[in-house]
Amino acid sequence: MTDALNERSLIERFFKDCGARRSDVALGVGDDAALIDVPPGMQLVAKTDTLVSGVHFLPHFPAASIGHRALAVNLSDVAAMGAEPAWALLALTLPKVDAAWLAEFAAGLGALARKHNVALVGGDTTGGPLCITVQVLGYAPRPPVMLRSGGKPGDVLFVSGTPGDAGAGLAVEQGQLPNATSAAANYLRQRFLFPTPRVELGQRLRDFASACIDVSDGLLGDATKLADASGCGVVIEHEKLPISPHLTSTVGDTRAREIALTGGDDYELCFAVSPSNVEKLQRALPPAQWGYSPIGVLRAERGGAVTRNGTVMHFSHSGFDHFAR
């Protein structure tokens, strides 16, 4: 059966009905290009991200995870804009046609797409070194309301989820944390392999946040990017970082906080809220239910800093170096 798969039958079999069905897709997979009806009065949001084998994942990682992450990283960016994802394109470069791998990959990507009502409307399939590029399109109200640049000194900074889990999960996946209990190892691995893009939270934050960024390269570095774009600086309080019990039990409290600040691949949202909006936010979106925590403030003094009991700490921003030794 594998031998019989050519480019066209492969697309037909694995990707034609992979994502959600949407009535605004006038023409999806099959013609030269897709045609989409964009809601009037909305602004189109567009993002693309590439995962390269050996750089962003290893070829032996579960194919379902590779499919999930290829879409998730894009959904996370769209979420950070407070936008609603709707359509995706998939450019797939494959070293060989492996039907079992493709079925798993498509299942991983398709499940996440359907969860967020995203239709896969097209793409490209080529032979070559394993590489996956997904593009997500969606829409946001005009004018845009939640950019990186809207923060002001005094705004409270929040982060969703428990950063650091994914960075440690990658280390687990690579056999670098052999002392983790199997419960902790499973939890951390899942957090790396199947990150949860905060799509609904992003849209709900439009009414409250002054600025937002998604955390993909380490919380401290990304929070500093938000602050830079807003023309200010940021202070994160070490003791306020939300750390998962499994991360602490695996690497200890100090190291857990270090990984939370500098590890990558979290795909959480980091957002700023003006003091006058904080109570409204917490009433409308109860933190325990929506899973986010205050971690610091924006301030006039530029740059990113971490304080512990009021004293400034020093950190390198290099997440992956932590596991390189």
List residues near ligand ADP by CB under 6 A: 7, 11, 15, 29-32, 90, 92, 120, 122-125
Q: Which is nearer to ligand ADP, 123 or 151 (CB)?
A: 123
Measured from the CB of residue 72, what is the shortest distance to ligand ADP in angstroms? 17
Q: Is 210 left (phi over 0), alpha (psi -120 to 50) or beta?
A: alpha
Q: Which is nearer to ligand ADP, 123 or 169 (CB)?
A: 123
Q: Which is nearer to ligand ADP, 96 or 314 (CB)?
A: 96
> Strand, helix or coil at 278?
helix
Q: Which is nearer to ligand ADP, 26 or 284 (CB)?
A: 26
Q: Six-digit token pair at 300? A: 């006039």
Q: Which is nearer to ligand ADP, 7 or 279 (CB)?
A: 7
Query: Which H or E element spans position 307?
Result: strand 303-308
Amino acid found at 71: L
The residue nearest ligand ADP at its CB is 122
How far is the C-alpha of 49 from the C-alpha of 177, rounded, in Å? 29
Q: Which is nearer to ligand ADP, 14 or 208 (CB)?
A: 14
Measured from the CB of residue 1, what is the shortest distance to ligand ADP in angstroms? 19
Q: Which is nearer to ligand ADP, 11 or 215 (CB)?
A: 11
How far is the C-alpha of 125 from the C-alpha of 122, rounded, in Å? 10
Measured from the CB of residue 70, what is the shortest distance to ligand ADP in angstroms? 11
Measured from the CB of residue 94, what is the shortest distance to ligand ADP in angstroms? 9
Give every CB contact of residue 2 below 8 A, 6+ residues apart in sequence: 97, 98, 99
Measured from the CB of residue 91, what is the shortest distance to ligand ADP in angstroms? 7
How far is the C-alpha of 223 from the C-alpha of 208, rounded, in Å? 18
Distance of CA 181 to the CA centre of its chain: 26
Length of the chain: 325
Measured from the CB of residue 123, what is the shortest distance to ligand ADP in angstroms? 3
Q: Which is nearer to ligand ADP, 11 or 260 (CB)?
A: 11
> Strand, helix or coil at 121?
strand
Q: Six-digit token pair at 286? A: 């109860």
Measured from the CB of residue 27, what is the shortest distance to ligand ADP in angstroms? 8
Measured from the CB of residue 105, what is the shortest distance to ligand ADP in angstroms? 10
Q: Six-digit token pair at 183? A: 């419960």
Give every CB contact of residue 75 below 8 A, 6+ residues apart in sequence: 85, 112, 116, 118, 136, 197, 199
How many CB atoms sit inside 10 A of residue 286's CB?
Answer: 11
Q: Could you tell me if 104 and 86 are in contact, meaning their C-beta atoms sit under 8 angstroms apart? A: no
